[in-house]
Amino acid sequence: MTAVDAPTLLAEVEQRIAQLAAPTGPHPVQAAAARAAAGGKLLRPRLVMAAAGRSADRDAVVAVAAAIELLHAALLVHDDVIDGDEERRGEPSVAREARDLAAEAGLAPARAERLGLAAAIVTGDALLVRAIASLGSLDAPSALRSRVLGIVTRAMVRAAEGEHDDVLLAGATPDHAAIDRILEGKTADYSFRAPLELGAVLGGRDDAAIAALGDIGLRMGVVYQLRDDVLGVFGDEAITGKSTLSDIRAGAPTLLSALASRDPAWASVASHYGDPGADEGAAARVRHVMRGSGALDEVERRIADGGDEVRALLVAAPVEQSVRDELLQILARCVERGR
Amino acid sequence: MTAVDAPTLLAEVEQRIAQLAAPTGPHPVQAAAARAAAGGKLLRPRLVMAAAGRSADRDAVVAVAAAIELLHAALLVHDDVIDGDEERRGEPSVAREARDLAAEAGLAPARAERLGLAAAIVTGDALLVRAIASLGSLDAPSALRSRVLGIVTRAMVRAAEGEHDDVLLAGATPDHAAIDRILEGKTADYSFRAPLELGAVLGGRDDAAIAALGDIGLRMGVVYQLRDDVLGVFGDEAITGKSTLSDIRAGAPTLLSALASRDPAWASVASHYGDPGADEGAAARVRHVMRGSGALDEVERRIADGGDEVRALLVAAPVEQSVRDELLQILARCVERGR
């Protein structure tokens, strides 16, 4: 595997994802699963590929990269249910599509709503099962396979905890330790740490290198999530494709909101943060306090510092220069990205 | 493995389930997962054990039996969310417990409700991942492991479809084909066909025997579900531990309701079937039509005929007499059971 054929490899990963999610029957749940699996940015597969390096078994890398993206798709389907989000990747969410189809077919609103809930939960379940089962069918030595499954299980349990805490602490002003747990739990482990560890394991790296890449992944993931939190409130909707109202309406427990809430001016906007009916005017006032309190600057500083930290760790990491280069590129996109 | 030490084996399966679901950290999601995994009747492990016979690898049988029970626990957690059920096995459901704790901690009702939803979805996810990952770590030849995972994946996708259809067709009067799909999909495949196939595969049986046991399982599962449907409306709550109102309130699309709905008298009670506010008086009228229309008799006849069919297939099945005996015992409990 060389860096040169990375696009080819990525195309293979996409093909494998489509295969794993392909309907085996005509049921609408299967069609929904196939749609939910398509169209991701393949960030996680890229991380697996980067950490695996050029000497890893190509088939194993494709299989694991595809599985990790499919897991991500499953979590997104469930996340949309939990957050009540109606759109995903510019399309209706699974729950909304099922609900709308049911309503068109004549079901009463409450029944159509329940069908949307059911459809999204079972579609996510079907994707989860297929993703993990594909890892279990990995054609690899038993010790390697168990290690892969162990990493994925840990990351998924962590993601479950992070998702729970994200809802539990919505609208609250969590302390620093809780913020760290959310940042690391919800995204950083399964989206960065686990993919880098998986790639490292597939690349046959030693335990020190696996641990180093895992640590780098966790820190990259935190930077990514901090950037995501900023874009969620201050981003350009035309570029991010996401509403800059939804985090405010949900009262997302972010570092941004936690820092801003320590400013006396927060009292004047606290009731908007976590108010499902918050409008653009309310959001503008929240943003004003987030800026004026210095919270935005502080988060930007932590993003920059976190990026520097990762760069320093990468330089010292026991991996090839090509791996460093690829991860630096991905890091740059995480830190500087506009979407 | 002998029939004599089946209780010992079952104790090992319970131990393994507890291990698989044991918390690896102090988070409430992990505690919820451990609780949700405990206390099942172990019907599915019993079926795996019965079909495996005495020459199967003991460790593999325990591992697969435990995984299949854990999958069942995961599906129940998600099923309770979909059905809005507040109790499971005499305890608060995961969603209700999380919601009540959040409300006690001072969260507003809507936020506490959303936390309950989040907690139950991610708890089910964590159980699903652990169950499938444990099958992927099975210490068995690659072909055997893939076959195990293939069976489980098929059954889980089928269960997802059945759960969806159960909600889609609630309150409706589905045709016979749809009823069959629900009966087979929601329970019969993952609860009976798959466990028997898995046991047969672990027992090293040939394809004809695996197919025969799978077919027997599917039919046993249909009988089980028909009995469950009858108990859901006519059962003794003190014995079943389940309300005989909930199927009526949910408008469960059962053979019982489909047959009754063909009687002219159904028009007088149709509005109660699927009415979340239906009371004991309304339920009594629904039961009266189900009896008077002959629907109950017809379902009882199908349960009896289905049981006879399974018995005949078992006699002809290419398996040992001890396997036949154990499956006949389980069948008897499915047909005659009061809970």
Query: Where does the pLDDT of residue B115 fall: very low under 50, low under 70, confident under 90, or very high at 90 and above?
Result: very high
Contact (Cβ atoms closer than 8 angstroms) between residue B195 and residue B44: yes
Cβ <8 Å between B122 and A146: no
Averaged pLDDT for residues B172-193: 88
| B161/A30 touch (CB, cutoff 8 Å), yes or no | yes
Q: What mean pLDDT comes out for the span A10-18? A: 96
Asked whether the predicted pLDDT for residue B337 surpasses 80, the reply is no
Instruction: For residue A299, give how far its alpha carbon lies from the nearest alpha carbon of chain B (Å).
Output: 27
> What is the rounded distance in angstroms from the CA atom of residue A72 to the CA atom of residue A191?
8
- Is the dihedral angle over the CA atoms A300, A302, A303, A305 positive or is it negative? positive
Give the dihedral of Cα atoms B229, B234, B238, B241; nearest 10 deg: 20
Mean of the pLDDT values across residues B185-206?
95
Distance CA A41, CA A62 (A): 15
Q: Chain B: residue nearest A33 by CA?
A: B157
CA distance A322 to chain B (A): 32
- Is A78–B25 a contact, with Cβ atoms under 8 angstroms apart? no
Average pLDDT over residues B41-59: 95
pLDDT of residue A89: 80
Q: Give tens-digit pLDDT for B285-331.
A: 999 999 999 999 999 999 999 999 999 999 999 999 999 999 999 99
This model of the complex carries an ipTM of: 0.94
Q: Are the Cβ atoms of A133 and B145 closer than 8 angstroms?
A: no
Residues of chain A found within 8 Å of residue B121, distances taken between Cβ atoms: 78, 81-82, 121, 124, 163
CA distance A307 to A224: 10
Q: Strand, coil or helix: what is A245?
A: coil
Q: What confidence score (pLDDT) does residue A132 get?
A: 97
pLDDT at residue number A263 = 95
Give the residue-averaged pLDDT of A282-309: 96
Q: How far is CA A161 from CA A257, B78, B120, B247, B276, in A?
A: 20, 17, 11, 33, 33
More confident residue, B6 or B92: B92
Chain B partners of A24 at a C-beta cutoff of 8 Å?
154, 157
Most confident listed range (A330-339, B102-111, B170-179, B275-284): B275-284
Structure token pair of residue A147: 């290690």
Tokens coding A304: 């920059």
A81, A100, A123, A129: best to mutate for the B interface, most B CBs within 10 A = A129
Mean pLDDT over B271-278 rounds to 92
Q: What is the pLDDT of residue B338?
A: 66
pLDDT for res B2: 47
| Chain-chain contact of B122 with A163 (C-beta, under 8 angstroms) | yes
Out of B29, B128, B139, the one facing A161 most closely (by C-beta) is B29
CA distance B167 to chain A (A): 6
B325: closest CA of chain A, how far (Å): 33
Nearest to A137 among B114, B146, B163 (CB): B146
How many residues does the structure list for chain B? 339
pLDDT at A339: 59
Q: Which residues of B touch A274 (CB under 8 A)?
A: 111
- Mean pLDDT rounded to a whole number for chain B: 93
Is there a contact between B136 and A135 if contact means CB atoms under 8 Å apart? yes
What is the length of chain A? 339
Q: Looking at A195-204, A328-337, B110-119, B201-210, which range is the least confident one?
A: A328-337
Query: Do the Cβ atoms of A128 and B123 come within 8 Å?
Result: no
Min distance A50 CA to chain B CA atoms (Å): 25
CA distances to A68, A223, B32, B168, B277 from B121, rounded to whole Å, are: 19, 27, 11, 20, 26
Sequence-distant contacts of B278-283: CB under 8 A, at least 24 apart: B278/B245, B278/B248, B278/B249, B279/B245, B280/B245, B282/B248, B283/B233, B283/B244, B283/B245, B283/B248
How close is the nearest chain B Cα to the Cα of A145, in Å? 7
Which of B82, B130, B136 is closest, CB to CB, to A121?
A: B82
Say whether A129 and B102 touch across the interface (CB within 8 A).
no
Confidence of residue B1 (pLDDT cuts 50, 70, 90): very low
CA B113 – CA A99 distance, rounded (Å): 20
The size of the A-B interface in CB pairs under 8 A is 174
Name the residue in chain B with its Cα closest to that of A161. Answer: B29
Encoded tokens for A138: 């990995």
Pairing of strands B87-88, A87-88: unpaired
For position A338, what pLDDT does the model report? 66
pLDDT in tens, A35-67: 999 988 999 999 999 999 998 999 999 999 999
Q: Is the CB of residue A272 less than 8 Å from the CB of residue A234?
A: no
Question: Beta A91-92 vs B91-92: how paired, if at all?
Answer: unpaired
Q: pLDDT band for B3, please (50, 70, 90 cuts).
A: very low
Q: Do A126 and B164 touch (CB under 8 A)?
A: no
Task: Check pLDDT > 60 for residue A331.
Answer: yes
Please tell me which of the candidates A30, A150, A164 has its beta carbon nearest to residue B157: A30
User: Which pLDDT band holds residue B4 (cuts at 50, 70, 90)?
Assistant: very low
- Residues B93-110 have a mean pLDDT of 91
- B123 vs A contacts (CB less than 8 Å): 160
pLDDT at A170: 84
Chain A, nearest residue to B33 by Cα: A157
| Helix and strand counts by DSSP (H, E) for chain A | 16, 2
Mean pLDDT over B127-131 rounds to: 98
- Model confidence over A87-125: pLDDT tens digits? 888 889 999 999 999 999 888 898 899 999 999 999 999
pLDDT at A1: 47
Q: Which of B121, B134, B147 to mutate to test the interface with A (most CBs of A within 10 A)?
A: B121
Smallest Cα–Cα separation from B180: which of B190, B172, B188? B188
Taking the CA of residue B28 and the nearest CA in chain A, the distance in Å comes to 8
Greater confidence (A315 vs B339) lies with: A315
Per-residue pLDDT tens for B133-142?
Answer: 999 999 999 9
Condensed to tens digits (0 to 9), the pLDDT of residues A218-231 reads 999 999 999 999 99
Residue A91 three-state SS:
strand
Distance from CA of B306 to the nearest CA of A (A): 27
Domains located in chain B, CATH noted: 1-139 (1.10.600.10), 173-339 (1.10.600.10)
On the question of pLDDT at A3 being above 50, the answer is no
User: How far off is chain A from B83, nearest CA to CA, in Å?
Assistant: 8
- CA-based nearest residue in chain A for residue B20: A153
pLDDT interval class at A239 (50, 70, 90):
confident
Q: Could you tell me what percent of chain B has a pLDDT over 90?
A: 77
Residue A171: list chain B partners with CB under 8 A.
111
Higher pLDDT, A179 or A131: A131
Residue of A nearest to B122 (CA): A160
Give the pLDDT of residue B339: 59
